[in-house]
Amino acid sequence: MLAKDPLSAATSSVLNHPPRAKRVIQLFMAGAASHLDMFDFKPELVKRHGQKSDFGEHVEAFQNGLGPWMKSPFEFKPYGASGKLMSDIVAPLGEVADDISFVHNLVGKTGVHSQATYLQATGFQLPGFPGAGSWVSYGLGSENENLPTFVVLPDHRGFASNGPKNWGSAFLPTHTQGTTIFPQRENPIEDLHPHADYVSEASHREGIDLINELNKRHSKSRPGDPRLDARIRSYELAARLQLSATRALDISKEP
Of 9-13, 121-125, 174-178, the range with the lowest mean pLDDT is 9-13
**Cα-based distances in Å from 47 to 50, 59, 64, 70, 249:** 9, 22, 25, 10, 51
Q: Please report whether residue 139 resides in a domain.
A: no
* AA letter at 144: N
Q: Please report whether residue 232 resides in a domain.
A: yes
Q: Please report whether residue 35 resides in a domain.
A: no
What pLDDT score was predicted for residue 66? Answer: 82
Q: Please report whether residue 18 resides in a domain.
A: no
Q: Please report whether residue 82 resides in a domain.
A: no
Contact at 8 Å (CB) between 144 and 22? no
Contact at 8 Å (CB) between 58 and 44? no
Q: What does the pLDDT look like over 227-247, one tens digit per residue? A: 777 777 777 877 787 778 777
Find, among 210, 211, 179, 174, the residue nearest to 192 by Cα.
Answer: 179
Report the pLDDT averaged over residues 137-165. Answer: 85
How many C-beta atoms lie closer than 10 Å to residue 148's C-beta? 21
Task: Look up the domain containing 232 and give its range.
Answer: 201-253
Q: What does the pLDDT look like over 160-213, one tens digit per residue? A: 889 999 999 999 988 888 988 887 777 788 777 777 777 887 887 888 889 888
Rounded to whole angstroms, how far apart are CA atoms 3 and 6? 7
Please tell me the total count of domains within the chain.
Answer: 1
* AA letter at 89: I
What pLDDT score was predicted for residue 158? Answer: 84
Q: Please report whether residue 69 resides in a domain.
A: no
- pLDDT of residue 121 exceeding 50, the answer is yes
Averaged confidence pLDDT in the chain: 83
Of 29-33, 40-44, 120-124, 151-155, the range with the lowest mean pLDDT is 29-33
What pLDDT score was predicted for residue 8? Answer: 41
What whole-number percentage of the chain has pLDDT above 90? 32
What pLDDT score was predicted for residue 2? Answer: 42
Q: Please report whether residue 214 resides in a domain.
A: yes
What pLDDT score was predicted for residue 195? Answer: 74
Q: Please report whether residue 229 resides in a domain.
A: yes
What pLDDT score was predicted for residue 250? Answer: 75
Give 19's pLDDT tier (boundaries 50, 70, 90): low
